[in-house]
């Protein structure tokens, strides 16, 4: 019998991150589908990013000290990077990334639609 190499799906959900902090992105699926926002943070380890104004989750905070206010705070939750599409800052369209190798050998990201280096 063959020994199965399958793991518990831990690494299967991951997607490669093609985004950087400050990128404008469009949400492809989920409750915020179609919305656009700016990438605030990237977690390559989890394959997730946090986007400004997207995937707002409520956090319940209890007051710990006298005088401190408790309540429900809204904050951005992390999203899988594969649910997001980069919006080109040059042509303003949702695009995929092409990799361009410059004359000096540096690898740069560029827009597949207009070719602009991002
Ligand atoms: Zn473009």
What CATH number is given to the structural domain containing 33?
Answer: 2.30.30.30
Distance 108 CA to ligand 1 centre (A): 14
Question: Looking at the chain, how many residues does it have?
Answer: 118
Q: Are 80 and 100 members of one domain?
A: no
Is residue 65 in a domain? Answer: yes
Distance 109 CA to ligand 1 centre (A): 11
- Condensed to tens digits (0 to 9), the pLDDT of residues 9-24 reads 444 456 778 899 999 9
As a whole number of Å, the end-to-end CA separation of the chain is 50
Which of the 8 DSSP states describes residue 117?
Answer: B
Is residue 87 within 8 Å of 67, Cβ to Cβ?
A: no
Distance 18 CA to ligand 1 centre (A): 15
Q: Are 81 and 97 members of one domain?
A: no
For the chain, the domain total comes to: 2
How far, in Å, CA of 55 to CA of 40, rounded? 12
- Condensed to tens digits (0 to 9), the pLDDT of residues 5-62 reads 555 444 445 677 889 999 999 999 999 999 999 999 999 888 999 999 999 999 898 8
Distance 117 CA to ligand 1 centre (A): 8
Distance 96 CA to ligand 1 centre (A): 9
């Amino acid at each position: 019998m063959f020994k199965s190499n399958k793991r518990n799906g831990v690494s299967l959900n991951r997607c490669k991150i093609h985004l950087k902090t400050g990128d404008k992105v469009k949400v492809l699926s989920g409750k915020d589908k179609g919305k656009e926002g700016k990438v605030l943070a990237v977690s390559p380890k989890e394959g997730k990013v946090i986007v400004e104004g997207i995937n707002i989750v409520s956090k319940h905070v209890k007051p710990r000290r006298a005088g401190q206010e408790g309540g429900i705070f809204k904050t951005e939750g992390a999203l899988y990077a594969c649910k997001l599409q980069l919006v080109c800052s040059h042509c303003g369209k949702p695009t995929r990334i092409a990799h361009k190798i410059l004359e000096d050998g540096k690898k740069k990201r560029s827009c597949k639609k207009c070719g602009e280096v991002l």
